[in-house]
Structure 1
Amino acid sequence: MCNALPVMNQHKNKTLATFLATFFGSFGAHRFYLHGKKDKWAWLHLVLFPLSIFAGFIGALIIGLTPDEKWDAQHNANSGRQSNSGWLVIILVVLTFAGGATALIAAIARTFDLLFTGGAYG
């Protein structure tokens, strides 16, 4: 008779994944946390660093706004635990949205400065 135990996967914390995407998403930290070192998209973040700043913000919004049930089905199917995200995830989503909007407005303003004034204001 075989007494094999079910394989338990490591529980992926949604709050930690959102934090990593918010503050270190431009380096692909959230993708390395979720998918490991073999994730090609995470390595692409490191290669395309300036563009991946916005990708990190978008990743943080997607992770933070994913319902806990869907998160667990995708990342914690065999962990034996359930996620229970609290207010910290909401605060991180708000900070991500504010940071992303600020970065986007700054990029648009700098582009217009370069295009229309030749960079006279910076």
Structure 2
Amino acid sequence: MSRQPASASPAHAPLKSKTVATWAALLLGSVGMHRFYLYGSSDRLAWLFPWPTLVGLYGVRRMGELGQDDRLAWFLMPILGVMLVIAMASGIIYGLTADEKWDVQHNGGNKSPASGWAVIIGVVLCLLIGGTCLMSTIAFSAQRYFESQVEAAQAISQ
């Protein structure tokens, strides 16, 4: 009895679209939707995506309620930024994968329809949003760090 390789898809399994995976990463990637689409609900990594995203969203909520002086929000908000950057990077990788390689990895070698402009637009948006999130996360974290250092120096000098 021979076993199929893990990458091989059964004949009745639907083909995985590169376009859908790219847009899933763009729109709901921070909660792991792109991984659920590609690998199903048994993917352990997909189940790890929602938790840090929710923690980061909690930080955003705390910042809104308690203001910029809430140190816990300082720590939690960059977690959301990191999850968004990971999701956008996944969308870029999916969109830029060659169609033949995509079919081997996700469709067991079965030919899927050629990707078109929708996947390119998705990649461009992932790049735009991912770059913005990355730079914002770095800037926010650095600003808060240096502000805390100034406050500590002022407290020591008084």
**What TM-score do the two structures reach when normalised by structure 1?**
0.84
Q: Distance in 2 between matches of 1:101 and 1:82?
A: 30
C-alpha deviation, 1:29, in angstroms: 0.2
C-alpha deviation, 1:78, in angstroms: 6.2
2:99 maps to what in 1? 68
C-alpha deviation, 1:116, in angstroms: 1.7
- Is structure 2 residue 144 aligned with structure 1 residue 114? yes
Matched letter for residue 131 of structure 2: A
Checking the alignment, whether the CA contact within 8 Å between 1:7 and 1:78 is kept in structure 2 is: no
Aligned runs of 1:2-21 on 2, under 5 Å?
7-21=11-25
Give the greater-gyration-radius structure (CA). 2
1:82 maps to what in 2? 112
2:36 maps to what in 1? 32
Structure 1: runs of 5+ lacking an equivalent: 1-5
Structure 2: runs of 5+ lacking an equivalent: 1-9, 54-79, 149-158
Superposed CA RMSD in Å reads: 2.0
Q: How many residues align?
A: 114
Q: Counterpart of 2:49 in 1: which secondary structure?
A: helix
2:89 maps to what in 1? 58
**What TM-score do the two structures reach when normalised by structure 2?**
0.66
C-alpha deviation, 1:52, in angstroms: 2.2
C-alpha deviation, 1:27, in angstroms: 0.4
- Is structure 2 residue 123 aligned with structure 1 residue 93? yes
Checking the alignment, whether the CA contact within 8 Å between 1:8 and 1:78 is kept in structure 2 is: no
Q: Counterpart of 2:135 in 1: which secondary structure?
A: helix
| Percentage of identical aligned residues | 42
Q: Runs of at least 4 residues of structure 1 off by over 2 A?
A: none
